[in-house]
């Protein structure tokens, strides 16, 4: 599923550093650490009619990621919330919006890898766009396993939500070439890790399973999906999952801010038989929809 340009995003205002800029003037320096080495952390958030969804969860993960990368300075939550507030208000945005929140290590005094060259503090980018959920959650998506592995903590810990996305991009390229919607990435042991941009779940014998978060992003939608299962009394466990288990399961679905909860109807050319699993997925999707207003922070509350 290829996202399309939305003309409503032609003239948006984007927050970069300390203020707002029109789309064609919103830029970072060529000395910025994100340009030099993908040295940045990020979050994707959705705005619903009740406000910004799971904001505290996202800001906590952003802070944790920046701390893990030893950023010297991390902006205070009030600063970030205020930047989000001003961006949304400047664009008249109050629902059906996706925010790409990026915190780079900032500008360097000269090109180079060494973080000691970053002497101006981090740079916050708030890019809010009109955007519906990216996947069709009725007809679902088709995915293919790829040869690109997801990082283990031994390589680059997947618990850091960083901008070094090249292995996920390579997995997506493989899926594109094969004509599938997303690339499935395994861990270094050959178990299922996640899709290139979303987490994965499997339904089997009335229970729901998801891979341990050793080699996948511990997604916020993933966590909330597990909470929905618990509220509904549906057993949900983390476990090592092989491709064969996915092929023969009673349902597979992907979770993520960009698409919410999306049925996976085909893995590697094997259709997933939802005969027993679709009722469980419906229940979880409905519970997730009920959770949305509970976890939204109204936009006016973001103003410093
Ligand atoms: C690789 C990857 N997996 C999973 C997710 C889903 O995480 P979340 O539910 O927090 O949006 C993302 C979102 O950015 C991601 O980049």
Q: Read off the pLDDT of residues 102-153 as tens digits, 9 standing for 90 and up.
A: 999 999 999 999 999 999 999 999 999 999 999 999 999 999 999 999 999 9
pLDDT of residue 160: 98
Atom from ligand 1 closest to the CA of residue 196? 1
pLDDT of residue 1: 79
* Cα 257 to averaged position of ligand 1 atoms, centre (Å): 7
Q: Using CA positions, which residue lies closest to atom 5 of ligand 1? A: 198
> Which spans in the chain are helix H?
33-37, 55-68, 77-90, 166-178, 220-232, 243-247, 278-294
Rounded alpha-carbon distances, angstroms, from residue 60 to 17, 74, 220, 254, 258? 20, 11, 11, 23, 19
Q: What residues of the chain score a pLDDT lower than 70?
A: none
Contacts of 99 (CB under 8 A, 6+ apart): 43, 44, 45, 46, 47, 52, 84, 87, 126, 127, 128, 129
Alpha-carbon torsion angle 221, 227, 228, 231, nearest 10: -170
Q: Using CA positions, which residue lies closest to atom 3 of ligand 1? A: 198
Q: Which tokens hold the place of 250? A: 């009673």
* Cα 44 to averaged position of ligand 1 atoms, centre (Å): 8
Contact 36, 107 (CB under 8 A): no
* Cα 98 to averaged position of ligand 1 atoms, centre (Å): 13
Taking only the tens place, the pLDDT of each residue in 181-207 is 999 999 999 999 999 999 999 999 999
Q: Phi/psi of residue 35, each to 5°?
A: -75, -40
* Cα 158 to averaged position of ligand 1 atoms, centre (Å): 10
* Cα 217 to averaged position of ligand 1 atoms, centre (Å): 6
* Other CB atoms within 10 Å distance of the CB of residue 263: 22
Residue 33 CA to residue 119 CA, distance in Å, equals 11
* Cα 151 to averaged position of ligand 1 atoms, centre (Å): 14
pLDDT of residue 29: 97
* Cα 198 to averaged position of ligand 1 atoms, centre (Å): 5
pLDDT of residue 150: 96
Atom from ligand 1 closest to the CA of residue 220? 10
Atom from ligand 1 closest to the CA of residue 43? 14
Q: Using CA positions, which residue lies closest to atom 16 of ligand 1? A: 197
Residue 154 CA to residue 161 CA, distance in Å, equals 16
Ligand 1: list residues with CB < 6 Å.
44, 168, 194, 197-199, 217, 219-222, 255-257
Substitution candidate for ligand 1 out of 38, 44, 56, 220 with most atoms within 8 A of CB: 44
pLDDT of residue 288: 98
* Other CB atoms within 10 Å distance of the CB of residue 104: 28
SS3 content of the chain, % helix, strand, coil (to 5): 30, 30, 40
Q: Phi/psi of residue 261, each to 5°?
A: -110, 120
Domains of the chain, with CATH numbers? 7-132 (3.30.470.10), 141-292 (3.20.10.10)
Contact 158, 151 (CB under 8 A): yes
CA 126 from centroid of its chain's CA atoms: 15
Q: Pick from 63, 66, 86: which is nearest to 14 by CA?
A: 86
Rounded alpha-carbon distances, angstroms, from residue 269 to 151, 231, 250? 25, 34, 16
Q: Using CA positions, which residue lies closest to atom 7 of ligand 1? A: 219
Q: Which tokens hold the place of 102? A: 């990026």
Q: Pick from 53, 52, 44: which is nearest to 288 by CA?
A: 53
Please provide the average confidence, as pLDDT, over all residues in the chain: 97
pLDDT of residue 184: 98
Residue 81 CA to residue 245 CA, distance in Å, equals 42
Atom from ligand 1 closest to the CA of residue 58? 10
Contact 209, 202 (CB under 8 A): yes
CA 154 from centroid of its chain's CA atoms: 22
């Amino acid at each position: 599923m290829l996202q399309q340009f939305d003309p409503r995003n032609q003239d948006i205002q984007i927050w970069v550093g300390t203020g707002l800029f029109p789309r064609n003037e919103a830029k970072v320096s060529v000395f910025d650490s994100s340009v030099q080495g993908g040295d940045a952390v990020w979050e994707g958030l959705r705005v619903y009619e009740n406000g910004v969804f799971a904001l505290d969860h996202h800001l906590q993960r952003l802070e944790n990621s920046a701390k893990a990368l030893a950023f010297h300075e991390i902006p205070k939550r009030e600063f970030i919330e205020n930047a989000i507030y001003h961006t949304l208000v400047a664009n008249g945005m109050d629902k059906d919006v996706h925010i790409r929140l990026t915190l780079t290590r900032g500008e360097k005094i000269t090109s180079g890898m060494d973080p000691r060259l970053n002497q101006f503090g981090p740079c916050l980018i708030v890019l809010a766009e009109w955007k519906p959920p990216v996947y069709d959650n009725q007809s679902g998506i088709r995915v293919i396993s790829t040869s690109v592995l997801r990082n283990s903590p031994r390589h680059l810990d997947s618990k850091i939500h960083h901008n070094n996305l090249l292995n996920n991009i390579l997995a997506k390229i493989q899926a594109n070439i094969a004509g599938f919607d997303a690339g499935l990435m395994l861990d270094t042991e050959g178990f299922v890790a996640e899709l290139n941009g979303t987490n994965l779940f499997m339904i089997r014998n009335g229970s729901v399973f998801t891979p341990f978060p050793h080699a996948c992003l511990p997604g916020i939608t993933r966590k909330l999906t597990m909470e929905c299962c618990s509220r509904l009394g549906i057993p949900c466990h983390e476990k090592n999952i092989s491709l064969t288990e996915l092929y023969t399961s009673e349902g597979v679905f992907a979770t993520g801010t960009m698409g919410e909860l999306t049925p996976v109807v085909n893995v590697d050319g094997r259709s997933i038989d939802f005969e027993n699993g679709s009722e469980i997925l419906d229940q979880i999707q409905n519970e997730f929809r009920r959770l949305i207003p509970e976890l939204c922070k109204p936009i006016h509350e973001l103003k410093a």
